[in-house]
Structure 1
Amino acid sequence: MAYENSVATPLRQLPNALTIVRFAAIPLFVVLLVRDQDGPSWPAGIVFGLAAITDQLDGWLARRWRVESAFGKVADPLADRLMIDVSVVLLVAYDRLPWVALVILLRDLLLVGGYKLVVPRGYEFEVSRLGKAATWGLYASLALVLVTERGTWWPLALFWVSLALAVVAAGQYVLKARREVRR
């Protein structure tokens, strides 16, 4: 069935609108977390969780309705990276995550910088299943860190597993880019 023909024009913009909402949620998330920096922050956790849900929803709608866009292919993962990175920085600053968690920033800088280098040379970036699983795990673990008491071990364990998956996924992206980039 040709969904793109059956989806009303305003709805065709919904996936990108959800991505923009995710960008806009970042300052709200920061304000809510700063307000509750000493302990669990259900308001920040809810905003963060809603951002995670929109991440899943926008991509699913775009694929289902066949309205994927160049904007969405870049903006969607960037919105995820920014939300996750801001969360990690604040949680490290408030001693809810150890400073080593900042390695996620290096991973994301590598990916964003690498993206700018390889796309003009013919590389077509697509998020891998492992990358998606890592992002889901990071969203889930960070949301759980946000809403639990400082030092609760199990959200931290989930974070470390998800971070390891994210690093492995980054390695896969680098290897794929090396194979596919036109010299």
Structure 2
Amino acid sequence: MSSSTVSAPLRQLPNALTVLRFAAIPLFVVLLVRDQDGPSWPAGVVFALAATTDQVDGWLARRWQVESAFGKVADPLADRLMIDVCVVLLVVYDRLPWVALVILLRDLLLVGGYKLVAPRGYQLEVSRLGKIATWGLYASLAFVLVTERDTWWPLALFWASLVLAVIAAGQYVAKAMREVRE
């Protein structure tokens, strides 16, 4: 389906979903802070809806051929912020160990690195491994949010997804270094 067959308002929907994900972060924080000691279904639902919009906005943009420069940068940034805020709060409330904060270092490296290489013509393209890692992080963190403290299986899924996210980051850095040198 080409962008010319999609109405002008609908062509804006993928970016609107990304902006909605940014706007959901404060609501998510309020809901999680309210239920900090135990499972938080309200925060988990908002988090899961944010994850869903991540999938829907990208799918719509590709299907309707309305991918934009804004979306290519804002979409992964919205994901990173939502996931990072969730991890920080879960560490603060002792639902994840402090080592989980390595995700912040990974994301700071990627955002800072992108700011360095973008002016040199580097085009950010999220890899399949990066998408799988993001899906895994969203799913595992949503499960951590809605299960009792120290439930093992969401934590195991989180650590597996974190490993994939770190590997994907290494691939992004290597690709950027190759392409910027050329």
TM-score under structure 1 normalisation? 0.98
Render the CA deviation track for 1:27-71: whole Å, top value 9, x for unaligned.
000000000000000000000000000000000000000000000
* Shift, 1:123, TM fit: 1.1
In the alignment, structure 1 residue 58 sits paired with structure 2 residue 57 = yes
Structure 1 residue runs of 4 or more that deviate by more than 4 Å after TM superposition: none
How far apart in 1 are the matches of 2:2 and 2:97?
46
How far apart in 2 are the matches of 1:150 and 1:80?
24
| Aligned pairs, number | 182
In the alignment, structure 1 residue 111 sits paired with structure 2 residue 107 = no
How far apart in 2 are the matches of 1:165 and 1:101?
13
In the alignment, structure 1 residue 48 sits paired with structure 2 residue 47 = yes
How far apart in 2 are the matches of 1:164 and 1:181?
26
* Shift, 1:3, TM fit: 2.0
**One-letter identity of the residue aligned with 2:169:** A
How far apart in 1 are the matches of 2:105 and 2:147?
26
Does the Cα contact within 8 Å between 1:49 and 1:143 map onto a contact in 2?
yes
* 1:161-176 alignment runs, 5 A limit: 161-176=160-175
TM-score under structure 2 normalisation? 0.99
Unaligned regions of 5+ residues in structure 2, if any?
Answer: none
Match of 1:129 in 2: 128
How far apart in 1 are the matches of 2:156 and 2:67?
35
How far apart in 1 are the matches of 2:124 and 2:12?
22
How far apart in 2 are the matches of 1:122 and 1:15?
24
Unaligned regions of 5+ residues in structure 1, if any?
Answer: none
How far apart in 1 are the matches of 2:121 and 2:72?
15
* Shift, 1:182, TM fit: 4.1
RMSD: 0.7
**One-letter identity of the residue aligned with 1:10:** P
Render the CA deviation track for 1:114-143: whole Å, top value 9, x for unaligned.
000011112111000000000000000000
